[in-house]
Amino acid sequence: MTHSAKSEALADTLPTALLIGGDQVTGSSGGRYEHIYPVTGQPNATIELAGDVEVDRAVKAAKEAQREWIAMTPARRRDLMIDLADAVKADVDRLARYNVHDFAVTYMTSPGHVMLAESFIRYYAGWVDKSTGSSTPVSDKFDVNLIEREPYGVVGIIAPWNGSMVVIGLNVAPALAAGNAVILKPSELSPFSPLRFGEICLEVGLPAGLVNVLPSGPEGGEALVRHPGIDKIHFTGGGDTARKIIATASPNLTPVATELGGKSANLVFDDADLDQAAILAAWQGPLGQSGQSCACGSRILVQNSVYDAFMERFLGVLGAATIGDPFDPSTMMGPVVSQAATDRILSIVDRAVDEKMGTLITGGRRMGGDLSEGFFIEPTVFADVDNRSSLATVETFGPVVSVMRFTEESEAVALANDTTFGLNAFLQTTDLRRAHRVARALQSGSVWVNQNSDIQPQSPYGGYKQSGSGRAGGLEGLHEFQQVKNIRIGM
């Protein structure tokens, strides 16, 4: 990276200390972690990792701050959240560049992650002074019967590395709007933009300790989940980790909401706009975040009659993709997040070839040349994949997609639903009746028709089946962070 690019990238300003109760904390009990920049395979900072001691300190600070937060008028809390949205928007360039340093998401898309967080913060600010309870008649004595929603208190939010800014929008915003204090635990693989967000919370005047940011690995996450002072956990990540978290939370019966992985189908019908369908399939599949997205359309089901025409266009889009330095504004796809991810993804590809789970059409190798230092993997497409193979059932979380053919609509729906996941689905058709019919038949929390994945604050996002139980966005997203109380006053 040239020096000018480095200075543009703000590489020398990356935050590395934990943020607890408004203090920058170093010398933490979780130790230190040498963060590797996925483009170079070299360290770009050494960060603090939270351990038991820091989690306990954060819980104490959060409890104190939550009492101060909920004692404010709703209007004051609303205005502070609006100020927070304004400040995030004003800092979008720094946050977006830090997000590139986090996990090498392309700068073409990184500001979008920040602005998604800003839109959720602004949206939930609007709920603060409008979230109402209700009252219902229960007796002939005119008893007062109130149904109210109250905050949990201190919420632990565990975020994946691929959506640090996105999770701040989806989960931190509604948690604050519902009146909670937050302990945000980003992955050690993406600490920088969350830590900067924590600083912004203090700069706009939120009570110190209302938002604590504790990057760590599994150990710090486990310490957070088992802490008796945590009133609710919201976890975004993989299913295996969710199982561990639910087990860790069980001694205290701490409630856990989950937003998990997916193996989403993208159904391309013969009446689709094939040029658009090819572009969407490329972005929803291998190109967007190098396939490292829970919403990845990793199973592309194509109606036989348009299969050749679609594949020609789809492979053409992939072949024309610019792959390289994520700070270059023209780059469409960057590296995957780590050496471990590289090894895992390539072993999935090798096994799929060895066991003939499908036919490798393009890609499947680590990229060389001037990309050889980084964790770059070619956009990879398998055709005629067996839907029951591990290639089609296990989340790859990389730039690898499976293409399958179908003849009848009912066959496509059956294929799409034949998975343990149910996060989202994509549908390419210009037939309005088919759009309604198929969208209702698909077993997933979101269905996007002729549209890329687009998480908006007005709409609840979350999974069916093993893609999780939580919802982010809309009023459902606010209720995720409230508990319901009934008050009855006998007259």
Q: How far is 208 from 203, CA to CA, in rounded Å?
A: 10
CB contact set of 485 (below 8 Å; sequence gap of 6+): 147, 148, 149, 150
Q: Is 159 in the site for ligand TXE (CB under 6 A)?
A: yes
232 is catalytic: no
Q: Is 213 in the site for ligand TXE (CB under 6 A)?
A: no
Q: Is 217 in the site for ligand TXE (CB under 6 A)?
A: yes
Any idea what DSSP says for residue 171? I
476 is catalytic: no
Choose which of 22, 51, 198, 237 interacts with ligand TXE (CB under 6 A). Answer: 237
Stretch that binds ligand TXE, among 81-89, 131-139, 254-262, 266-274 (CB under 6 A): 254-262
Closer by beta carbon to ligand TXE, 57 or else 113: 113
Instruction: Reduce the DSSP state of residue 443 to 3 states and report it.
Output: coil
Point out the catalytic residue in the list 259, 263, 378, 480: 259
Q: In 100-231, where do the E strands start and end? A: 134-135, 144-151, 154-158, 181-185, 211-213
CA distances from 367 to 291, 318, 335, 342 (A): 16, 14, 9, 11
Q: Is 168 in the site for ligand TXE (CB under 6 A)?
A: no
Stretch that binds ligand TXE, among 66-74, 96-104, 161-169, 410-418 (CB under 6 A): 161-169
Stretch that binds ligand TXE, among 37-45, 213-221, 363-371, 384-392 (CB under 6 A): 213-221
Output the DSSP codes for 379-397: -EEEES--TTSHHHHS---
Site string for ligand TXE, 183-202 (x = CB under 6 A): --x-x---------------
| Largest Cα span, the chain | 82
Choose which of 225, 267, 400, 413 interacts with ligand TXE (CB under 6 A). Answer: 225
185 is catalytic: yes
Closer by beta carbon to ligand TXE, 51 or else 207: 51
CB contact set of 147 (below 8 Å; sequence gap of 6+): 133, 134, 135, 136, 484, 485, 486
| Polymer length in residues for the chain | 491
Point out the catalytic residue in the list 48, 118, 395, 480: 395
Site string for ligand TXE, 413-452 (x = CB under 6 A): ----------x-----------------------------
> Residue 343 is encoded by which pair of tokens?
């090894």
Q: Is 221 in the site for ligand TXE (CB under 6 A)?
A: yes
Q: Is 126 in the site for ligand TXE (CB under 6 A)?
A: no
Which 368-397 residues touch ligand TXE, going by CB under 6 A?
395, 397
Confirm if 99 and 192 have CB atoms less than 8 A apart. Answer: yes
Q: How far is 111 from 93, CA to CA, in rounded Å?
A: 7
Q: Is 91 in the site for ligand TXE (CB under 6 A)?
A: no
Among residues 79, 92, 159, the alpha carbon closest in space to that of 122 is found at 79
Q: Is 92 in the site for ligand TXE (CB under 6 A)?
A: no
Among residues 336, 258, 243, 332, the alpha carbon closest in space to that of 293 is found at 336
Point out the catalytic residue in the list 54, 185, 263, 296: 185
201 is catalytic: no
Q: Is 344 in the site for ligand TXE (CB under 6 A)?
A: no
Closer by beta carbon to ligand TXE, 163 or else 324: 163
Q: Which residues pair with 362 in a beta bridge?
A: 381
Catalytic residue positions, numbered: 185, 259, 294, 395
Binding residues for ligand TXE, rule: CB under 6 A, are 158-163, 185, 187, 217-218, 221-222, 225, 236-238, 241, 244-245, 248, 259-261, 294, 395, 397, 423, 468
